[in-house]
Amino acid sequence: MAILSFVGFTLLVAVISYYATRKTDERSSDGYFLGGRSLTAGVIAGSLLLTNLSTEQIVGLNGQAYTEGILVMAWETLAAIAMVVTAVFLLPRYLKGGITTVPQFLEDRYDTTTKTITSILFLSGYVVVFLPIVLYSGSLAIVTMFDVPALLGVSHSTAIWICVWGIGIIGSIYAIFGGLKAVAVSDTVNAVGLLVGGILVPIFGLMFIGDGSVFEGISTLVKTNPEKFNSIGDKNASVPFGTIFTGMMLVQLFYWGTNQAIIQRALAAKNLKEGQKGLMLAAFIKILGPLIVVLPGVIAFHIFGNNLEIPDQAYPKLVNKVLPLSLVGFFAAVLFGAILSSFNSALNSSVTLFGLDVYKEHFNKDASEETVVKYGKRFGIVLAFLSMLIAPLIANAPAGLFGYLQEVNGCYSIPILTIIVVGYLTKRVPAIAAKIGIISGVVLYSISQFVLKPFVFGEENYPHFLHIMAILFVLNVAIMLLIGALKPRETAFELPYTKQVDIVPFKYVKQVGLAIVIIVISIYIYFS
């Protein structure tokens, strides 16, 4: 029954995606990379949420909540504020300039070399970190929920290999041969399933605790585990409270405002109004994110206690414990969709970055749009193949890998955010400042986290990596501004209006944004 519902929902998504995209012109770069600049608010919001929500987050954050409680909700609730900033500040400038990739703006603002360095940093992050992690964590969840080793009569490692290649091949078909619109449509359908299935897990979990009553379950959960409902983390927590005001907001702003895999959805908006409404809708739903990626972890702690050797087992074990058998299959299909979404979105963005910012720029400047798309697809196939080879090997990595990889992402996230922010807020900071800023950002962060922290000061005596990110952000901004003062551009930069789309803003964007910020602050005050 579980397998039938899994296969049924997965096929439904594929059929809907095919019919929704069969008339899109995939031969042009706008058609393939940006879905013909035709995405509406609902599709943008659904695709943003599904691109963000994947197994390393659903399983990983619930695993952290199992251990630490709701304080890890910072990764979810503060994202809503970052989306507001993106909608109000960054998106109008992106759409005015008619850019297809974030590095494309950096070429207009600075020079081609800056764009190429940034594209390579993005691609390195996707290849080495993001794609293999999504494949491995997703496969781990599917293997656990369906007990694939027993089902197929194979070892655990063989089951991981099978799932990695299955997810990788299906995700590659969506991303490489369907383009962004196929990815976005499949995301939207899966978003509905994820929201429904994601809410059902804590509902059934609370009913399990409360003998059939959700409200009784909430009462029992809060009374029995009050320590799990404190949003303020101490200095030893994975998210100390102070980091909310330093590196946490910078990480969120990078992720939602400059990360190509995410912002590409908003860049594909049919106009600024739809793009802003899509971001605001996603922000409102994101505030409810802890119900899906935090609360189940606390419920799992109440049910299983400290008996789980691996905290990341909390979520899949809770699903098997509280959901009816038919719904386990449906939810596994939804989770499968979330895995595919993050994988194929990053892969599609990698194809976009390579095709436009590397191939056309450095290999064939006269290439037609059809040729750029063709070579982008070929690169995507190689990338997918490499990530499928690397992913199963992650099983041999040391414990705490996912937290470690979040730290590693700082090598490129903060330097890129620095040069984009300075690029938009100033008019005369030159290209050399951007090159120095991005290189010094990568080098200084790497020295800090991988030399000074482990070998000089020690883990216990060193500031949290989110604080380090904030310090280096301020330092690199200061370096760029100093260079701009000493050696300014000859002419002030002016952002041109390319008239690709209408840039009349959503009428209530500031009011809605303020409401979202107030709600987030209120949540923290209530749980403090």
Spell out, as residue ranges, where the chain has pLDDT lower than 50: 21, 24-35, 179-180, 398-400
| Helix-then-strand count for the chain, H and E | 25, 0
**Which pLDDT tens digit goes with each residue over 338-361?**
777 777 667 777 777 788 778 888
- Among candidate residues 116, 112, 102, 123, the one with its CA nearest the CA of residue 421: 102
Supply the angle between the helices 260-267 and 41-52 in degrees, to the nearest 10. 170
Rounded CA gap, 359 and 379, in Å?
Answer: 10
Residues 6 or more apart from 519 whose CB is under 8 A from it?
80, 287
Location of structure tokens 């907001």: 249
DSSP state of 27: S
What pLDDT is attached to residue 237? 81
- Among candidate residues 11, 359, 366, 355, the one with its CA nearest the CA of residue 180: 355
Beta bridge partners of residue 271, listed in sequence order: 502
What pLDDT is attached to residue 180? 46
What pLDDT is attached to residue 15? 59
DSSP state of 233: -
Rounded CA gap, 335 and 330, in Å?
Answer: 9
Let me know: does 145 contact 328? Beta carbons within 8 Å: yes
Helices (H), 210-294: 214-224, 247-257, 260-267, 272-287, 290-293
- Among candidate residues 269, 246, 243, the one with its CA nearest the CA of residue 86: 269
What pLDDT is attached to residue 27? 47
Write down the architecture of domain 34-396+506-526 according to CATH.
Up-down Bundle (1.20)
**Residue 522: exposure state from Cβ atoms within 10 A (0-12, 13-18, ≥19):** exposed
What pLDDT is attached to residue 310? 74
Residues 6 or more apart from 118 whose CB is under 8 A from it?
102, 103, 106, 416, 419, 438
Sequence spans of domains, the chain: 34-396+506-526, 401-496
Residue 276: C-alpha distances to residues 49, 71, 84, 421 (Å): 15, 29, 9, 19
- Among candidate residues 361, 46, 353, the one with its CA nearest the CA of residue 175: 353
**Which pLDDT tens digit goes with each residue over 192-229?**
777 788 889 999 999 999 999 999 999 999 999 998 99
Let me know: does 13 contact 189? Beta carbons within 8 Å: yes
- Among candidate residues 169, 160, 158, the one with its CA nearest the CA of residue 142: 160
Location of structure tokens 């897990």: 201
Tokens of 251: 């990480």
What pLDDT is attached to residue 432? 96
Supply the angle between the helices 465-486 and 247-257 in degrees, to the nearest 10. 70
